[in-house]
Structure 1
């Protein structure tokens, strides 16, 4: 009977590979036999194998294990999908490194009572907005973007990047965000009294009085002037409209929705074939040039002013206003321009508002005022 060779010293001149002792406890899929027929198996730790034999067996074993892992993961995925389990959870949330707070999905799900219909504040092309209450007791608006929307993903990144560095009393503030799996969620301060569009055009809403309209116009102008001249780099909103002007219970205006905004360093770097904005508010000069500027926002703001003056909806409003302006310039009477439901307005203040709105929607961008200039003009006019 042969004597096993020592582990540390294989026979000189023999092409052998010494397997580690730990391998002796491993069951091999390929039984090892001795070199001589009929002899007893040598201990696994000292069995001499050719390098080519080990290489072949290792490849076969590796492939087998790899296939088993892939099949196992696939079966697990199918099982979880059938069960309706989520693959995004609080543990899978990813912090993008922005300066605002990063929430987990579970936190926001709890704050909105499971994104319930009862907490739904509104919905748009890219998602739904819910009322939420954080664990601190703070009321927030939770905007949950539609899963799988490529444009929604771009909007999400743009909003977080831009609003996280914007701080102004007339611009809605970003409380935080959430990235968990395919979920993209934005958390804003809650501005509880809906939008300017709701109060101007909502069915059954009481007519806004003149001081309230002036207050909203001035607040929105302050916020837009800050974006254009108070930020570095400056920001072009590109979607100023009554729906994106939120108001609180005291009708303080806040500009919202920065999903298609641009910083000026990017806006002028190239001409885009995709015109962004809303019908009725879109600057015709921007539409033809495909190059957004601050004056594009000024035009949109001018349309908002005309809505406040006339009470009319934005589509076709500028075309309707122009002949009325001609008559106003001829006889100084702007009664045909003013919202029929508006009572007790100051004629001098109305005249200045009409002049400002007309300047903002001038066909030539160069002839439109800057927001900062327009704001100072209204401040000196006491509104």
Structure 2
């Protein structure tokens, strides 16, 4: 009996040992399986990122910016960085969007606040053009153009990273509810700054750029109400000659150049037309894409008709009639020249820029003269006929 008991006790201990050993083995196997699965998943993600990077012409981008090492170093931003910056592109971080993508607000690891544009472009030809656009925009430096900080090529759809502009769009500020909006002085300055940006794109960069989607919602305003032209998703390189290039028509109804719409021929004058519509919008506070008279006339056609008849005040924003003075008529005439149906009869953006600058200079000189006259009148009240101050 005693031997049997010892045997049974030994057997039960042995079985317990086997059980414990088996349990530990199963746990180890489970941990190993989890580790291997994670490893495989990370490897797949890494390979996918590499595939997209190659597909998006990462090497081409490096080649295009290789002459500027500082650009090459800052242009490439990892997907991990942008996911952290936007909380994995959480919907609450969305700040805008349109036909070319969704824009997210993000905070990079260096605490820089940025706007991240997630493009909807997936066609390879368009991605190739996107890379060329990045290469050019990365070297553009103008105070009235939103600055491109970098891009991420590790996703199927490339991501663009811009400086964050905090004060909304010109469209928002113009069409806010209420009897008054931006002052006439601010509207004239914003128009001049936007004209400067477009003239720069058309004339001053090594390869001229046609924006192709100029509208008030693509003009951002910072805290000082300085204008910043944004959204180059539809932009194209301008040809060396002035004949234009044939493209698939793209733009926004109400701002779109009719000549480009009907012929498919894109030139810098297409941007001029769109800018002219913005001038009309600044003058009238009417929305170009939704305005329609009882006779079926859109904003541009109605504006031109009233100007021709000498009844332009019927459509002008009452606020600018009160604030604007004689330059309102001059800007109206300039706007009409920009929205001429014949593209060749429109001014260039450089001519538009100079015209608006001239108006601002005249306005400043007028203000200085008025200030001088007021100052003289004040002095005159306290001086006798001999110019001696009276007690």
Same fold (TM over 0.5): yes
Q: Flag structure 2 segments of 5+ consecutive residues without an equivalent.
A: 1-36, 66-70, 290-297, 362-391
Check conservation: 2:52, 2:156, Cα contact below 8 A. no
| Structure holding more helix per residue | 2
* Correspondences of 1:272-311 after superposition (within 5 Å): 272=246, 274-311=248-285
- Structure 2 CA distance for partners of 1:257 and 1:205, relative to 1, 3 Å: farther
Note if 1:244 corresponds to 2:218. yes
Q: Alignment partner of 2:103: what SS?
A: strand
What's the CA shift for 1:190?
0.8
- Structure 2 CA distance for partners of 1:86 and 1:170, relative to 1, 3 Å: same
Q: Alignment partner of 1:378: what SS?
A: helix
Q: Alignment partner of 2:246: what SS?
A: coil
Equivalent residue in structure 1 for 2:347, among 366, 369, 375: 369
User: What root-mean-square deviation, in Å, do the aligned CA atoms of Structure 1 and Structure 2 show?
Assistant: 3.0
Cα distance in 2 for partners of 1:342, 1:230 equals 33
Residue matched to 1:347: 325
Equivalent residue in structure 1 for 2:127, among 153, 156, 161: 153
Q: Alignment partner of 2:270: what SS?
A: helix
Cα distance in 2 for partners of 1:209, 1:371 equals 24
Residue matched to 1:379: 357
Q: Could you report, residue by residue, the CA deviation over 1:248-284 in whole angstroms, capped at 9, with x for unpaired residues?
A: 1111111111122122237868752511221111112
Q: Which runs of 4+ in 1 moved over 3 A?
A: 84-95, 146-156, 202-206, 266-271, 340-344
- Structure 2 CA distance for partners of 1:376 and 1:271, relative to 1, 3 Å: closer
Q: Could you report, residue by residue, the CA deviation over 1:140-173 in whole angstroms, capped at 9, with x for unpaired residues?
A: 1011124746687366335313311211111111
Note if 1:325 corresponds to 2:307. yes
| Mean CA deviation greater in 93-102 or 298-307 | 93-102
- Structure 2 CA distance for partners of 1:165 and 1:318, relative to 1, 3 Å: same
What's the CA shift for 1:310?
0.4
* Correspondences of 1:7-86 after superposition (within 5 Å): none
Residue matched to 1:312: 286
Q: Could you report, residue by residue, the CA deviation over 1:159-189 in whole angstroms, capped at 9, with x for unpaired residues?
A: 3133112111111110000011414110001
Residue matched to 1:144: 118
- Structure 2 CA distance for partners of 1:205 and 1:236, relative to 1, 3 Å: farther
Q: Which structure would you say has the larger Rg?
A: 1
Q: Flag structure 1 segments of 5+ consecutive residues without an equivalent.
A: 1-75
What's the CA shift for 1:295?
0.9
Residue matched to 1:357: 335
Note if 1:196 corresponds to 2:174. no
| Mean CA deviation greater in 115-124 or 142-151 | 142-151
Q: Alignment partner of 2:153: what SS?
A: strand
